[in-house]
């Protein structure tokens, strides 16, 4: 029941991160007819956005390990033929995860939730590093730094057009209450916990009119397989 409420709450207050994610997706210049995997799709806002871009000859497949979020995504997308959702992950599996099928793999606001040992599997599956444990092992060292990701992609050597940057996306909320609700829904923690104190001081500002801005430091990676 708590998972259910959390998924619903998440669906209602995730607007600012959807905005950042859709900006990233626009920059990828997807084509009509592309088949796109959206890993960690949550309640599917951005998967639907992708389905609209790739059109009826394309396909958007949203995967998330959280069954309640997938349930909401499915309920909202019943009428859309080129959009599917499935409970899964790189570890649990997902449709077509053992064959070359998708033109593009996308993951927004999700990779930081993948545990480090799963990150390796994620890279193997999504980036298809052919059995080279040397390269894969190094991924653990390079957790969430811009230079680290750039070096790793270059070392792997399977890609061209690797772009890694570290934009700061301002997520805006009408009030501190709304920000708190989003924070709880996405992290499953209360913002008042001591762990978050530093985050509040560093990244969160409240304007005179009560609006809250959360300046989110992101790592944005795009790469094409050779």
Ligand X SMILES: C[S@@+](CC[C@H](N)C(=O)[O-])C[C@H]1O[C@@H](n2cnc3c(N)ncnc32)[C@H](O)[C@@H]1O
In the numeric block, which tokens belong to residue 213? 């801005």
Q: What's the CA gap between 148 and 42, in Å, rounded?
A: 27
Rounded to a whole number of angstroms, the minimum distance from the CB of residue 186 to ligand X is 5
Q: Which of 114, 136, 139, 218 contacts ligand X by CB under 6 A?
A: 114
Q: For ligand X, which stretch binds (CB under 6 A), given 51-59, 71-79, 93-101, 102-110?
A: 102-110
Cβ nearer to ligand X, comparing 14 with 135: 14
In whole angstroms, give the CA distance from residue 85 to residue 102: 15
Instruction: Provide the β-strand partners of residue 172.
Output: 213
Site for ligand X in 136-195 (CB under 6 A): 186
Return the number of the residue (92 or 163) whose C-beta is nearest ligand X.
Answer: 92
Question: 107: which strand partners?
Answer: none
Interface pick for ligand X out of 51, 110, 212, 223 (rule CB under 6 A): 110
Nearest distance in Å: CB 201, ligand X = 22
Measure Cα distances from 175 to 8, 37, 109, 144, 187 in Å: 19, 34, 22, 29, 18
**DSSP string of 53-93, one letter each residue:** HH-TTSEEEEEES-HHHHHHHHHHTTT-TTEEEEE-BTTTB
Interface mask toward ligand X for 28-67; x: CB under 6 A: -----------xxxx---x-----------------xxx-
Antiparallel, parallel or unpaired: β 35-39 and 104-106: parallel
**Which residue lies nearer to ligand X by CB, 49 or 151?**
49
Q: Does residue 15 touch ligand X according to CB under 6 A?
A: no
Q: In terms of C-beta density within 10 A (0-12 exposed, 13-18 middle, 19 or more buried), how is residue 161 classed?
A: exposed
Least Å distance, CB 160 to ligand X, is 25
Least distance CB 21 / ligand X (angstroms): 4
By CB under 6 A, name the one of 11, 17, 34, 50 that touches ligand X. 17
Count of residues that interact with ligand X, criterion CB under 6 A: 21
Residues counted in the chain:
226
Please give the residue ranges that form the binding site for ligand X (CB under 6 A).
14, 17-18, 21, 39-42, 46, 64-66, 69, 89, 108-110, 113-114, 118, 186
């Amino acid at each position: 029941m708590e998972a259910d409420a959390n998924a619903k709450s998440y669906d209602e207050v995730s607007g600012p991160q959807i905005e950042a994610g859709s900006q990233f997706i626009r920059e990828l210049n997807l084509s009509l007819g592309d088949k796109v995997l959206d890993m960690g799709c949550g309640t599917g806002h951005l998967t639907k956005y992708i389905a609209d871009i790739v059109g009826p000859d394309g396909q958007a497949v949203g995967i998330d390990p959280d069954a309640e979020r997938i349930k909401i995504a499915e309920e909202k997308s019943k009428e859309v033929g080129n959009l599917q959702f499935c409970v899964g992950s790189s570890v649990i599996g997902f449709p077509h995860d053992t064959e070359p099928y998708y033109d593009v793999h996308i993951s927004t606001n999700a990779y930081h939730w993948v545990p480090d040992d799963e990150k390796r599997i994620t890279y193997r599956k999504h980036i298809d590093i052919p059995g080279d444990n040397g390269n894969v092992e190094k991924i653990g060292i390079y957790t969430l730094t811009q230079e680290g990701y750039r070096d790793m992609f270059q070392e792997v050597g399977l890609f061209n057009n690797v772009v890694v940057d570290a934009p700061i996306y301002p997520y805006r909320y009408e009030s501190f209450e709304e920000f708190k609700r989003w924070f709880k829904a996405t992290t499953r923690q209360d913002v008042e916990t001591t762990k978050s104190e530093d985050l509040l001081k560093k990244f969160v500002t409240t304007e005179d009119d009560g609006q809250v801005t959360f300046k989110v430091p992101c790592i944005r990676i795009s790469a094409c397989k050779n």
